[in-house]
């Protein structure tokens, strides 16, 4: 009888651990929320939420852009930070508003990353691939620069 209770307790603990593990993972987003509208609509949303706008300017043929999407922007820490603190927008430099945006904001090397204030002023920028840790440092630097201008 005692061995049955011990087995039942162990089994219950095991299932409880699995349940806790799944519920903890459910809170961590696994996809980056990317704004589906224009740059102007991203600024409007940022203004409502008092957030910066993170813009990744890319091209479809850019290998480093693809690597940044999978490695850096696919990192759980980066996803969590961007989803909580930024309006994220990806702009293809060769389509739609991309050519004019790229010309206006000197985004001719890819990827180009630009952080904008809700009013459309450039707060911080960098060009080229960054791994997740270095990207987060750049994002936090953008936030610090923005906070210091308020």
Look at residue 60 and tell me whether its pLDDT is greater than 90. yes
Cα(115)–Cα(144) distance, rounded to whole angstroms?
12
What is the reported pLDDT for 149? 87
Cα-only R_g, the chain: 21
Q: Tell me phi and psi for residue 107, to 5 degrees.
A: -110, 75
Q: Rounded mean pLDDT of 29-56?
A: 95
pLDDT per residue as tens digits for the range 99-149? 999 999 999 999 999 999 999 999 999 999 999 999 999 999 999 999 998
Is pLDDT above 60 for 27?
Answer: no
**All structural domains of the chain with their residue ranges:** 1-29, 31-149
- Could you tell me the two tokens for 113? 């990353």
pTM: 0.80
CA distance 77 to 121: 26
- What is the predicted pLDDT for the residue at 150? 74
Helix then strand then coil, % of the chain, to nearest 5: 55, 15, 30
Q: DSSP string of 70-90?
A: IIITTSHHHHHHHHHHEEEEE
Q: Give me the residues paired with residue 55 across strands.
A: 89, 114
Please tell me the CATH code under which domain 31-149 is placed: 3.40.30.10
């Amino acid at each position: 009888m005692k061995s049955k209770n011990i087995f039942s307790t162990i089994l219950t603990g095991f299932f409880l651990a699995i349940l806790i593990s799944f519920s903890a993972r459910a809170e961590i987003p696994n996809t980056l929320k990317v704004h589906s509208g224009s740059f102007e609509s991203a600024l409007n949303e940022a203004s409502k939420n008092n957030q910066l706008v993170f813009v990744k300017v890319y091209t479809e043929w850019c290998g480093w852009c693809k690597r940044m999407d999978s490695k850096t922007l696919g990192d759980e820490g980066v996803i969590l930070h961007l989803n909580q603190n930024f309006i994220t927008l990806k702009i293809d430099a060769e389509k739609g508003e991309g050519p004019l945006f790229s010309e206006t904001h000197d985004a001719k090397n890819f990827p180009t990353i630009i952080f904008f204030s809700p009013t459309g002023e450039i707060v911080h920028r960098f060009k080229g691939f960054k791994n997740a840790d270095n990207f987060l440092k750049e994002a936090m630097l953008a936030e610090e620069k923005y906070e210091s201008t308020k």
